[in-house]
Amino acid sequence: MRNIFKLSFIFLFAILSGQNISDYQYIFIPKEFTNAKANKYGLSNLLAKKLKAKKYVILTDPIQTSCESLHAEIADTGNFLTNKVRVDFKDCQNKTVATFDGKSNIKELEEGMQDALENAMKGINVSNPVHLVSSQMSKQTETVSQTEHVNQKENTIETPNGITAQNTAEAYTNGTLTLNRINLSENQFILANPGKSVPYAVFSASGKKDVYRVQLENGTTTFGYFENGNIVIETPNSDGSFGKQVFIRK
């Protein structure tokens, strides 16, 4: 009975952990894991493959990481009798969101380690960041609404004849969409579609000059930057690669 209870608790913990991870869409996998023994047997590529199959987008460049992404680490926790691995997922504050352990009865190192990793991955749920995105976009919409109200007052000028007029915002177009750039602060601005209440994209400064973390109106988090006076947004594809949207100032 005690063993059954223990197994039930472990299973429940794995389910709850999986739900936490599924709140995220982006996962950063470093070129080398902190645990040197894990940098063998093709574990990095296998981890990326398994996460992509569960609809996560894999990041490989540290500049792409943000608080909307998790950092994955693999550790070899086995011994000469058993192949074991531990997979940790940490947030931007280096707090462990969840840990998954896997082991294998296969004695051969490479095959056994890969089998152990596959067993660990069975506890991870499919990415479904709907609740997290809804909460973030709700907060951002409220902030943008308040800021636009303030900006309307600040941008209203009075001409000598007593008629009030509005300063025009900077307009950018990608050939299909024409959006207005509205500065929220020194470190944040939005591209807004005049016909919609939710901004098309919210830009927040990263640690690198002229590179921004971007959240699109559909909840997707990505990156943007300035190039020759234009605004470029990297758009993630389903295979983990990135395309580009270029907005030219009118």
User: Of 70, 92, 121, which one is at a domain's C-terminal end?
Assistant: 121
Q: What DSSP line would sit under the chain, residue for residue?
A: -HHHHHHHHHHHHHHHHHHHHHT--EEE--SS-SSGGGSSTTHHHHHHHHHHHTTPEEE-SGGG--TTEEEEEEEE---SS-EEEEEEEE-TTS-EEEEEEEEES--SHHHHHHHHHHHHHTTPPPP-THHHHHHHHHHHHHHHHHHHHHHHHHTEEE-TTS-EEEPPPEEEE-SS-EEEEEEEETTEEEEE-TT-SS-SEEEEE-SSTTEEEEEETTS-EEEEEEETTEEEEEEE-TTS-EEEEEEEE-
pLDDT (0 to 100) of residue 209: 83
Task: Determine the structural domain holding residue 185 and report its residue range.
Answer: 130-249
Q: What is the reported pLDDT for 130?
A: 60
Residues 37 and 81 in one domain: yes
Q: Which residues of the chain have pLDDT under 50?
A: 1-19, 131-138, 141, 143-144, 147-168
pLDDT of residue 73: 97
If asked whether residues 137 and 117 sit together in one domain, one would say: no
Do both 157 and 206 map to the same domain?
Answer: yes
Last-in-domain residue among 102, 121, 140: 121
| CATH number of domain containing 83 | 3.30.160
pLDDT of residue 142: 53
Based on the structure, what is the number of domains in the chain? 2
pLDDT of 60 reads: 86
